């Protein structure tokens, strides 16, 4: 005779047949001699520097972050390379969100892909983490005229003054 099975029976047999999936270990960071933990701050600094290296990136961060950066720099603080970068590291994997201002004239979709590749290469090479995603948000486009205006407002250094 045929065996009567219910959906509950099928689910129970399937659960018994599949082992519980534990998060996969990152063998670069977990060895038999110990583990290495990399803070989000480290990854965000690497990602921020890697994004700035890509030609076509005018700045990182949205309007508010850039304004706070300008205020911070006016008081003599150095530029925050983490500006516009958000990182989450879990189980040896990093997820990165980055906000940029693109230069006018660049192909934004190609720029975003170049940023992704550069960030992924830098983070994976320097940390051993695997990067599962890099999300790029383009907040603005820097126009050529804006660039000229910022150069015009920069005070000129005359000869003999330092």
Give the whole-angstrom CA distance, residue 63 versus residue 43.
Answer: 23
Handedness of CA 92, 95, 101, 106 (dihedral sign): positive
Domain residue limits, the chain: 34-66+80-140
- Mean pLDDT, to the nearest integer, of 70-97? 79
pLDDT at 162: 46
Q: Which CATH class is domain 34-66+80-140?
A: alpha beta
Q: In sequence order, which residues have a C-beta less than 8 Å from that of residue 66 and are 6 or more positions away?
A: 59, 83, 101
What do you get for the CA distance between the two ends of the chain, in Å?
A: 98
- Reported as a single tens digit per residue, the pLDDT across 17-75 is 545 555 567 888 888 999 999 999 999 999 999 999 999 999 999 765 555 555 545 55
Segments in 18-107 forming alpha helices (H):
40-52, 63-74
Query: Helix (H) and strand (E) counts for the chain?
Result: 5, 6
- Is the pLDDT reported for residue 15 higher than 60? no
Q: In this structure, what token pair is assigned to residue 155?
A: 């005070």
Alpha carbons within 13 angstroms on the beta-carbon side of residue 113 total 5
Give the whole-angstrom CA distance, residue 113 versus residue 45.
Answer: 19
- Reported as a single tens digit per residue, the pLDDT across 113-135 is 999 999 999 999 999 999 999 99
Is the pTM value of this prediction over 0.85? no
Paired residues of 142 in beta bridges: 103
Give the whole-angstrom CA distance, residue 27 versus residue 11.
Answer: 33
Q: By C-alpha distance, which of 1, 17, 19, 156 is closest to 9?
A: 17
């Amino acid at each position: 005779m045929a065996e009567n099975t219910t959906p509950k029976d099928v689910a129970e047999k399937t659960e018994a047949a599949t082992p519980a999936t534990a998060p996969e270990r990152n063998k670069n960071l977990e060895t038999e001699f110990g583990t290495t933990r990399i803070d989000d701050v480290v990854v965000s600094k690497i990602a921020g520097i890697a994004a700035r290296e890509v030609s076509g990136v005018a700045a990182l961060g949205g309007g508010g972050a850039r304004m706070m950066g300008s205020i911070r720099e006016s008081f003599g603080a150095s530029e925050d390379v983490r500006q516009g970068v958000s990182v989450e590291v879990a189980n040896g994997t990093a997820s990165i969100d980055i906000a940029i201002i693109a230069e006018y004239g660049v192909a934004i979709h190609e720029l975003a892909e170049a940023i992704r590749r550069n960030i992924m290469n830098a983070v994976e090479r320097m940390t051993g983490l695997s990067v599962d995603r890099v999300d790029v948000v383009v907040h603005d486009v820097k126009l050529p005229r804006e660039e000229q205006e910022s150069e015009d407002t920069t005070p000129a250094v005359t000869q003999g003054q330092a």
